[in-house]
Amino acid sequence: MGGRILLQWEQNRDNAPDPLTVDLYTGGPAPDEGLEEVVFYQVPYTPSTQDVDARLDMIARMPSLRVVQLLSAGYEHVLPLLPDHVTLCNGRGLHDAGTAEHALALILASQRELPRWALAQKEDRWEPVVLRSLADRRVMIIGHGSIGRAIERRLLPFETEIVRVASRARPGVHGIDELHGLLPGTDVVVLVTPLTETTRGLFGAAELALLPDDALVVNVGRGAVLDTEALLAERGRVRAALDVTDPEPPPAGHPLWRAPGVFLTPHVAGGSASFYPRAKAFMDAQLARWAAGEDLANVVRRGAHRDR
């Protein structure tokens, strides 16, 4: 039970079980002293990612460290920084509600042409057209982890047909090896996979070519899962709504900004308002588990020694 805990929110410090010694670190310059006593480090999660490297570099100055707790879903970038004996936990589930509702927002925005209406409003133009519907469309979700399932739950009442694709087939879920056969009948593809060497460029020229005219690709996973050059080469035949891009952000003047049928939002799916109460409640529970010597939740890599 000895050692310091470093985390970012007062609520978690105030709710921490009595034996724990908790200090706040909300980002910015590393604390001057005491890092050598830190056993549990919750890396600050903030809208700004400006000093993200500094927050992770601190790990090298924590010889007593047992647990690194991230609040993001992605964790691959932290693995190379961790000594073997340190356990890594992530923020799986905390971004599901925000990311899933953003995915629905992007799908509906594209089908109902909301960007068109936002621009028309700037010019006092009221020019109705017959819109696409989401109803009756076949929607494929590629990636069936907790966010993919959260998207599916929200899609179900929209009178759509849902096709699930994951790396390996299981009951009710197609394997990625079946992808090409499924694409010709698909109206909307939602990409929600992590970025790995397997998923990089997963959706490229061949996959886009198999989609019918006017299909929509939505990406709320990682930008490099979709091949940007291949999308641009479609010249609007396939539409896209992207919260993540490759490169990210697209530099000013990059053709993605002006590509026909492409709608961009600036990586705002996760980390929205619903994240904060969920993350704070998770940290309260995680600290209670730590204090009680119980197994931690959301372990993505277990340290070579025991947790504590």
**Site for a copy of itself, rule CB under 8 A:** 47, 97-98, 101-102, 104-105, 108-109, 111-115, 117-122, 124, 126-136, 153-154, 156-159, 249-250, 252-254, 257, 263-268, 271-275, 277
The least CB distance from residue 106 to a copy of itself, in Å, is: 8
Sheet holding 4-7, edge to edge: 21-24, 4-7, 38-42, 67-69, 87-89, 299-301
Between strands 87-89 and 299-301, the pairing is antiparallel
Classify residue 242 by burial, with Cβ atoms within 10 Å: 0-12, 13-18, 19+. buried
For residue 173, what is the DSSP state? Answer: B
**Nearest CB to a copy of itself, comparing residues 39 and 224:** 224
Q: Which residues are catalytic?
A: 222, 267
User: Dmax of the chain from CA atoms?
Assistant: 67
Q: Which is nearer to a copy of itself, 66 or 267 (CB)?
A: 267
As measured in angstroms, the least distance from the Cβ of 159 to a copy of itself is 5
> Residue 249, preceding bond cis, omega within 30 degrees?
yes
3-state helix, strand, coil in the chain (%, to 5): 35, 20, 45
Nearer to a copy of itself, 43 or 86 (CB): 43
Residue 25, helix vs strand vs coil: coil
Judged by beta carbon, residue 112 or residue 302, the one nearer a copy of itself is: 112
Q: Dihedral of CA 122/128/132/135: which sign?
A: positive
CA 223, 80, 70 angle in degrees (round to 5)?
65
Residue recorded with tokens 């025991």: 306
Q: How near is the Cβ of 37 to a copy of itself at its closest, in Å?
A: 32
Give the shortest CB-245-to-a copy of itself separation in angstroms.
9
Nearest approach in angstroms of CB 48 to a copy of itself is 9
Please give the structure tokens belonging to residue 198. Answer: 């397997």
Which CB atom, from 122 or from 306, has the smaller least distance to a copy of itself? 122
Considering the complex, what minimum distance in angstroms separates the CB of residue 116 from a copy of itself? 8
Beta strands, E only, the chain: 4-7, 21-24, 38-42, 67-69, 87-89, 138-142, 161-166, 174-175, 188-191, 216-219, 239-242, 262-264, 299-301
Residue with smaller CB distance to a copy of itself, 76 or 159: 159
Least Cα distance to 194 among 279, 77, 307 occurs for: 77
